[in-house]
Amino acid sequence: MKKKILILLFLLGGVELPAQTIVQELFSVGGPSHVSDMDVPAPTSEGSILIAMPGPLSPGVRVLSITDNAPGGGNTYKQVPGAASSCAGKASLDIWYCENCKSGVTELKYHFSGHVPSINTFLEISKLALSSIVDGSGVHVSDGTGTSAGLEVGPSITTTATDFVVARYFSTDPTPTGVTPAPWKYKSTYVYALDRPSGTQQPTLTGGSDAGSFCISMAAFKTAASGAISQLGSGARHSRTGSTLFSDTELP
C-alpha cells in the first residue's frame, strides 16, 4: 500500500502592484520519496519567473534538480549560489529558479538524493527580469539559534536594483508567526519583500520559540526594465479567480 499526502496552499488573481506581482504561491508536503510532485493549480503565464524552494526533511540530502512539464520541453532550473542552508538533524533548504521561463506549467518535480519527506514551496512572479535575474549571490543562515524573545534574525543581503527578495525558512516548534521590518510579508514557509530599493535587506522572524533552532535561505531577484514592464502591461493583473486550501490523499 502506498500512501501519498499532498497539501497545497495557493493564491490566484495576483496582488496588483505597479511593478512586481505575485501571481501564484503554494507549498506542498510530500511523503518519503526521491521525487516529490507538486501540482500547479493554474497554468503559468508568459513572462513570469518561476521560483522553487525545496525543503527535504533530512540532513545531508541534496536537491539534484527541479523539473516541470512546460509544453514543448520543460524549463531549466538553476540553483541560486550561496543560498543553500541546513538545520542540523532536521532539514535542508535551497532556492532554484528558471529564466526566460516557458508558460503553461502545471506540474513541478523536486528530485532529491535520498528517499525523504519534504516541504516544498513554489512562486510565480511577474514583472521580473527575464534573464540575468539574480542580484549577486544568495545568502543563508545554517543552524541558527533564536533569542530568548523568540526572534530569529535572518541573513542580510545587499541589493543593487529594485528587487524581489525572498527568504525560505525552517524553524522548530512553535514556529514564527510574523516578520519585521514592515516591508516584509509573512507566510508559513517563507517571507518576502516586493520592490525593494538598492541597499541592505534583512528580515527578522518573530513569535518563534525561546532559543529555538532555525535555518534560512535568501535571494534577491531583479525587476524587469521599464520597457519590458510596459510590454507586459504595467499594473495589469493576471485574471484568475478563486483561492483554496485543499488536501488530497491517495491510497492506491
Q: What pLDDT is stored for residue 224 in this prediction?
A: 87
Model pLDDT for residues 201-242, shown as the tens digit of each residue = 999 999 998 888 999 999 999 998 764 443 443 333 332 322
Confidence category of residue 4, pLDDT binned at 50, 70, 90? very low
Cell numbers at 27, concatenated: 507549498
* Cα 192 from Cα 179, distance rounded (Å): 9
Given a cut of 60, whether residue 48 has pLDDT beyond it is yes
Q: Is the pLDDT of residue 84 over 60?
A: yes
CA torsion 208-163-221-124 (nearest 10°) is 80
Q: What total of structural domains would you count in the chain?
A: 1
What's CA 49's distance to the chain center, in Å?
A: 11
**Band of residue 5 on the pLDDT scale cut at 50, 70, 90:** very low
62 CB neighbour count, 10 Å cutoff? 13
Query: Quick one: pLDDT at residue 59?
Result: 82
Grade residue 121 by pLDDT with cuts at 50, 70 and 90. Answer: very high
- Across the chain, what does the average pLDDT equal? 85
- Assign 88 a pLDDT band (cuts: 50, 70, 90): confident
Which structural domain range is residue 99 located in?
4-250
Q: Is the pLDDT of residue 10 over 60?
A: no
Residue with cell 484568475: 240
Residue 93 pLDDT > 50: yes
pLDDT reported for residue 226 = 64
- CA 49 to each of CA 1, 52, 119, 155: distance values in angstroms, whole numbers, following the listed order: 38, 10, 21, 24
In angstroms, what CA-CA distances link 107 with 52, 56, 217, 251?
A: 12, 18, 23, 20
**26, burial (CB in 10 Å: exposed 0-12, middle 13-18, buried 19+):** buried
Nearest to 157 by CA among 93, 216, 97: 216
**Residue 156 pLDDT greater than 70, yes or no:** yes
Give the span between the Cα atoms of 163 and 141, in whole angstroms: 20
Report the 10 Å Cβ neighbour count for 12. Answer: 18
With contact defined as beta carbons under 8 Å apart, do 2 and 16 qualify? no
pLDDT at 244 over 60: no
